[in-house]
A and B are shown apart, each in its own frame.
Chain A
């Protein structure tokens, strides 16, 4: 191993299975349940197709399984895009004739094209149909869409895999937290990278806490996290992306210690990468308010109770801000942030600190279905009718989801349009869909994503609930003042109102309506429309 490989993980080089040696692949291999599932499928004589995002680890996984003899008897094709489809089809058909399982790694676009080709006249059309039925349906909120257990071919879509579990991330950190990645002749104390590796080897708690923070950050953000993203994040935490020469320079100028520990590296604006960005937004301990701890750090540069888990050297309390220049204030705040990050990883008090950050990781989405539906209904109503206005509103506007519809043809945001509601969607018509995996995948793909869909059963309209929307709805229910209704919410209400327009017979005389000057604005009127015996309609109270 070498420092170049460790840094190459940040740059995306060493994590590319096609560029890495077998030794490096073996060293970086993190065991997951797929290491058992794929061989077991092959043993059952099933063809296996792995697809997913670049960096998801398709070819790494298959190469590793093959190199350790666990795909014996299978014909293996590591990259569909590397050969013309005709060659792949010929190899697959030959394997099928010989009764050998076929293992294929394929990007999704070319795979779809291949399946279309196979479906039209190939002897593999049955397998193509089975794989096509699995594509995009192995993780779905609709149980009726889940494919049956595979009979001849199984699709493993790594884009559905959730890597952001504490155990897996901790295992990945352990793979590279090793002095063999340091330049020859250097010990842990000589470079900042060495210091960070020592931290993780001498204080396993630090490794576990970093894993919790990274997993939390990864689960909080919407885009899929690949192994390449994960390695990028871990390698940057250790090396800050510095070249070997820069590490040597650190030794000579004394840039080791506070400010160069893993969480400082991750918080640096120079770090690039999906997971590094997510850490900055969601998991940086310095951005989480902790008044009691802050007071201790301002005063004695460490928590009042507990001990350090690693020798961090002597720390001095940051200079007080009052009366200082702007530069020194900034330096003091940076010093405080660095100490706070170090406490999170390397002090006994850090356990509670990290727990407070990652607690309630799923937010309202972890609530029971009924509780979540109630919260969502309350939040959706509050997006339009603020809690204060609800006090003066008739009960029908908050019984179910009030279907507020904006009305203007001008290019203005929804929050500037008048809105009208004449209907609600009853709570009894709402159910919650949670994502489910195909049962035969068991737990091989990690935890299911923290998201849900609110389904209006009569119309089939759905609203996707993720952490951000759930948090916004919570905020709406607890605050006053302007909030822009998110577009998916507007479209959901529009679909429900559209369904009511077509599916319900209205009886004039029973119509209630309400008009808002704008969402979270004034409820201008809530009244009724009544029918007249002579025809026509009139307003009523």
Chain B
């Protein structure tokens, strides 16, 4: 029964190890290759590892995956730590563990996945928003959304930013009022149909919407999601129809530029 007796040893040493000197444990592992000592060190510094994962992985999920990466960093730190240098293990372990998580973020394409995860969360928030509004007749507060979705307030606030971007993208939403009649977009004087332009841009749009202002996003939303005419938007926002026209033009040009650049760079 080597396996179970080893486990028993580990448990005992983990408990008794709580009072054992950290340097002593390092000596036992690094010089005597005592795996129980290594295990005791892992247990001792697991709270540190968890804490670092929580702090650094704030906007990452799932937590358990990242904790595994961080634990790997802890093992590396335990194996490489040189106690004779006189530094506390902690000051060596923190950068090693953070470095491991950082490398994981870079290698796994986390930089791309995070915005995607945020967008999914934004969809949930948007749906909850509609549901609560439907039930109560009022748009919910951030706290209500946070409670409803079991998210923290900050996650909801971030999601609300992303929603503004998302809503402008969802051009496939059915237009109210059916489509037998001539499109209302054409009603505006002297306007090209910007809607088609936006459809063209659709695929890459979500990645760049963050680069236009909230006001531009809101006007785009009113125009394309709520189907308001430029004149109606002008009334709602309190600017002239010409200004709405200019803003729409500018937003579309900006988005076109932003969505083109990466494609041409390839």
Answer yes or no: do A and B interact.
no
